Amino acid sequence: MIPLADRLDFTNEQKWQARWEAAHAHDFDEADTAKPVYSIDTPPPFTSGDLHMGHVLSYSYFDFVARYKRMRGFNVYYPQGWDCQGFPTETKVEAKYGRKPPEEFRKLCIEWTHACIGRMRAQMNSLGFSPDWRYEYRTMDPSYHKLVQKSILQMYESRQIYRGEHPVFWCPSCQSALAKTDTEDVERQTQLHDIKFQLELDDGKEGGNGKGNEGGAEGGKPRLLDIAIATTRPELMHACVAVLFHPEDARYKDLKVKSAISALGAKVPFKPDADVDPLFGSGAVMVCTFGDKQDVVWMYRHKLPIIRALDERGKIINAPAKESEASPSASSWPPGLLLNGLSIFDARSKLLERFKSEGKLLSSKPLTQVVKVHDRCKKPIELSLSWQWFAKITENREKIVAAARQMRWAPEFAISYLEDWANFVEWDWVISRQRIFGTPLPFWYCVKCDQTVPAQESELPVNPPALEKKCPACQSSLVPESSTCDCWVDSSITPLAISKWGEDSKFFKRTYPASLRPQGVEIVRTWAFYTIYRCLELTGKPPFGELLLNGNVLAPDGKKMSKSLGNIIAPDKLLADYGADCIRIWAALSGAMARDRPFSYQDVQYAKSFLNKLLNAGKLVGKSIEGYKPDDADEKHLRPIDKYFLHRLNEVVHECAVAWGDFEFHRITKAVQEFFWHEFCDYYLEYVKYRIYAEGTDKETQQSKRAAQYTLHAVYKTTLLLLAPIAPHSSEELWQMFSAGESDFISKHAYPTPDQKFAHEKSVPAGQLLAQVISAIRQEKASRKLSLNSPIAKLELVLPEEQAAHLKSIEDEIKAAGRVEKIEVKEGEELKVVFA
RNA sequence: GGACCCGUGGUGGAAUGGUUAACACGUCUGCCUUACACGCAGAAGACUGAGCGUUCGAUUCGCUCCGGGUCCACCA
């Protein structure tokens, strides 16, 4: 018997982590082709340098699963990667080193990221996570770039990826494209102007003077109807490409309109659209390219033409420079109105003045609106057209949803996030970013031939700006693509990366699709959606069997953890205060899936108490079974109460088996804890002490002792096995009591499964009666303020006849655990104890 | 504004179409009983967010409302 520590000592955890690593206890066994493979497509965390509690929660989840599956005989493939590239790193590196040329900057980003990974990997190890680090990957590695580029080329080949013009956020002041994260919302005061447009009606009637008065009948002109259009951006008027109204708007829905005529005389379509707010202004809205994001939505939806209204400096362009150049659709551009080259502000006042003089400015009133500004320069941003790369998600939405439905989602409702997104998505996925620290897009362009030249597969990984190329057709120099991939392009092929897609077909066949994809519920629309799409396109097969979704960890106050609120819980601090197993038990107890839960110190504290209990009970059990070798022959001498506890143990084993199937970690933990602590420790250990401590050498005493040892051994050992995936360090430490040596890890043993031989249904009434009697005695002692070990000379036990039948089999336990010398039974309605 | 999730003793959270609704923390009262005071025993504390409906019966099913959260969109 290896001596156990007096107190819970979680510094032992590092010892076990080192031993597991040295013994390769969690390695995927590539050579073993007999065992079924269970592969986990773990989320590569963004390499910020620190794990947060959300990571701790979700990574604990699938570490439980990995450890459990290993114990169930699976060959578990559990790699861990890192999502390295992206804007936050660029920001931090720039803040530290300032702006640098791209190559140098990228090197600094890589260096920075390696340092971050080092810290995060150490944190993962101290939490006892058990990935197979031999398969570690980083999205910034050349080998990963190669894979991403290969996937891009294949999707380009199959026409899933194309280049097109697309509006992006643009800062006219800094002259740079921005990601959404570069923007912030600012509330400001502006003017809302009602401007007169006209509708050209096509209802057989004829209009008169074009002023909208009905019923006139002069000449063959179409009838015109005046309407008001509300806008805060009159300077974009020349880019007006449509006027929309709500389909149920009674003012417009029954009109037969040929076209709308803008205040600048352009004829544009007049169409219904459900996104128009009929209560705003006149209920008619002009669509310009691009006043705001809604305009972009409408532009795609109604296939409207694009007129660039502003250049990269935010100056007006594409308005007629001379009167003779009035746009073709404008039947009557106002004479002398020259806007090109003016700033937004100047153009606006010039136009408003003009409209006012023409009577087209119907009203102006103040409006509070929220505008997007560049977070650095605080200047309002514009949407600007630029060449970008796209992936065709809109035409594949049904396919993606169908594939998602083939997978099992835990919990089920989480699939609705994906379905909603698929139904809602308005335009294709923009996969290019004008950033430096990202996977380069492997393309060149020939300006002369107007053609796109993809990289050769043999050239991968490739950074186009670093490789000069000639056009295969005309031999002129190609222009390299300098954009990089959106980070989701990298992470949406993790199931392919880990399964060595395109490199090792045998390995791929064994590990793809991944058995499990664990992830946060908030990235179903991105990570899950894009992964399903891309992997489906690239392999023809859905990427995973089931998905396990986790929610977010909130601060103890129920709010989102944030630096500004100062309510962040740091994993390192918790680790120092409680150790990994307590944190893991906390995670298991937070197991309400895909739901947010506040962090709870109570849970960690409770976990600590429980592990302490487990240790102390282990000391008693260890002492009690010292020198005992389990022997099935002892089963013959089991007392009814032994059978009852083996029966209960078996029920708990069964409950755990069911709960594992549903990833209900809290049920597993709760079931084991309650049984072990409040049944086994609080009752059984007290029942058997008299047998364990018995000195008698007679056969009967020895048999009874051995039967108790048999039961203690079975319950304690099984409990450790049940907990091993959740609290691996503590169970490993305590397992030494049963183990053959240091390399006999608990994780190498089979997870308990229900065993019919322990199903002692008949022992249940006696077991329950004993608990009731002991509880009644304790209650009586408490009410008399007696200590629990105070002896009772004579106990009067009142109980109904049907219960009395079971009394005989538990009399010894009542006497021993209750310190009762003599029992006198009386018949009565309900159970009662009297101290005589 | 849209979709989804949640609303149970002071706190965190289980469970079930049917007698007194787990468990933990906290509180109160005893007890240092030879594994454990990070413990043991006992006690108090909940009309299960509000209102309808289905049902013999609902906390559990349906609807409405109120409150909280997450993701998305955000306004001419």
Q: Does residue A192 lie within 7 Å of nucleic acid chain B, judged by its CB?
A: yes
Judge whether residue A247 contacts strand B, using its CB and a 7 Å cut-off: no
Average pLDDT of every residue of chain A? 88
Look at A91 and A725; give whichever has higher pLDDT.
A725
Strand B-proximal residues of A, range 475-514, CB below 7 A, are none
Structure tokens at A224: 């015109």
Owner of token pair 């080092």: A118
Query: Tokens 């606006």 belong to which residue?
Result: A348
Q: Is the CB of A701 under 7 A from strand B?
A: no
pLDDT digits (tens, 9 = 90+) for A241-293: 999 998 888 888 888 899 999 998 889 999 988 888 887 878 899 998 778 88
Q: CA A86 → C1' B76, Å?
A: 33
Would you give the DSSP letter of residue A188? E
Kindly state the average pLDDT of the residues A532-543.
96
Nearest C-alpha neighbor of A34 from the set A74, A71, A66: A74
Alpha helices in A217-324 (DSSP H): 293-301
Strand B contact at CB of residue A292, distance < 7 A: yes
- CA–CA distance, A397 with A429 (Å, rounded to integer): 12
Return d(Cα A535, Cα A458) in angstroms, integer: 22
Residue A417's nearest nucleotide, by CA–C1', is B4
Classify A310 as helix, strand or coil: strand
Q: How many CB atoms are closer than 10 A to CB A276?
A: 23
The pLDDT confidence band at residue A695, using thresholds 50, 70 and 90, is: confident
Q: What's the Å distance between residue A238 CA and nucleotide B52 C1'? A: 56
Nucleotides of chain B touched by protein CB (<7 A): 2-6, 11-15, 22-25, 29-36, 38-43, 68-76
3-state secondary structure of A739: coil
pLDDT digits (tens, 9 = 90+) for A765-796: 899 889 888 888 888 888 887 888 888 888 88
Maximum CA extent, chain A:
127
Nearest to A670 by CA among A610, A757, A720: A610
pLDDT of residue A509: 96
The pLDDT value recorded for residue A372 is: 84
Write down the pTM of the prediction: 0.89
**C-alpha to C-alpha distance for A576 and A10, rounded to whole angstroms:** 9
Cis peptide before A725 (omega within 30 of 0): no
Say whether the CB atom of A427 is under 7 angstroms from strand B. Answer: no
Quick check: A326 pLDDT over 70? no
- Nearest nucleotide to the CA of A673, by C1', is B23
pLDDT in tens, A741-757: 777 899 999 999 999 99
Rounded to whole angstroms, the Cα distance separating A445 from A483 reads 13
Give the distance, in angstroms, between residue A115 CA and nucleotide B14 C1'.
43
Contact between A246 and A239 under an 8 Å Cβ cutoff? The reply is no
Residues A619-630 pLDDT 10s? 999 999 988 998
Proximity of residue A562 CB to strand B below 7 A: no
Question: Per-residue pLDDT tens for A359-401?
Answer: 999 999 888 788 888 877 788 888 888 888 999 998 999 999 9
For the CA of A611 and the C1' of B20, the distance in angstroms is 33
Task: Tally Cβ neighbours within 10 Å of residue A590.
Answer: 25
| Burial classification of residue A168, based on how many CB atoms lie within 10 Å of its CB (0-12 exposed, 13-18 middle, 19 or more buried) | buried
For residue A1, the model assigns a pLDDT of: 42
- What is the helix (H) or strand (E) element at residue A357, kind and residue range? helix A344-358
% of chain A at pLDDT higher than 90: 52
In this predicted model, what pLDDT tens digit does every residue of A5-16 receive, in sequence order? 555 566 789 999
Side-chain-side CA neighbours of A183 within 13 Å: the count stands at 19
Strand B–CB A662 distance below 7 A = no
Strand intervals (E) in A207-324:
222-231, 240-245, 257-261, 267-268, 270-272, 284-288
DSSP A12-31: HHHHHHHHHHHHTTT---TT
Q: In this predicted structure, what is the pLDDT of residue A639?
A: 93
Q: Lowest mean pLDDT of A151-160, A177-186, A309-318, A609-618, name the range.
A: A177-186
Residue nearest to nucleotide B39 (CA to C1'): A613
pLDDT score recorded for residue A425: 81
The neighbour count for residue A768, using CB atoms within 10 Å, is 13
A47 exposure class (CB count in 10 Å sphere: 0-12, 13-18, 19+): buried
Q: Which nucleotide's C1' sits nearest to the alpha carbon of A286? A: B76
- The ipTM is 0.92
Separation in Å: B27 C1' and A362 CA: 70
Three-class SS of A632-687: HHHHHHCCHHHHHHHHHHHHHHHHHHHHHHCCCHHHHHHHHHHHHHHHHHHHHHHH
Q: How far is the CA of A277 from the C1' of B63 (A)?
A: 28
Q: What is the pLDDT of residues A95-152, one digit of tens each?
A: 999 989 999 999 999 999 999 999 999 999 999 999 999 999 999 999 999 999 999 9
d(CA A478, CA A472): 9
The model's confidence at residue A216, banded by pLDDT at 50, 70 and 90, is very low
Locate A375 and state its tokens: 């977070």
pLDDT at res. A66: 97
pLDDT, average across residues A442-467: 94
Instruction: For residue A224, list its beta bridge partners.
Output: A200
CB A209 within 8 A of CB A196: no
**Predicted confidence (pLDDT) at residue A596 exceeds the cutoff of 80:** no
Protein CA at A775 to nucleotide C1' at B18, angstroms = 28
Q: Is A236 helix (H, G, I), strand (E, B) or coil?
A: helix
Q: What type of residue sits at position A135?
A: Y
DSSP string, A514-573: EEEEEEEGGGIIIIIHHHHHHHHHHHSS-SEEEEEEE-PEEPTTSSBP-TTTT-PPPHHH
Q: Which of residues 377-416 of A touch strand B (CB under 7 A)?
A: 413, 416
- Cβ of A72 near strand B (distance < 7 A): no
Give pLDDT tens digits for A639-663. 999 999 999 999 999 999 989 988 8
DSSP-assigned beta bridge partners for residue A166: A386
A158 CB and strand B closer than 7 A: no
Q: Please give the Cα distance from A642 to A703 (Å, whole number).
A: 13
Nucleotide nearest to A790 (CA to C1'): B33
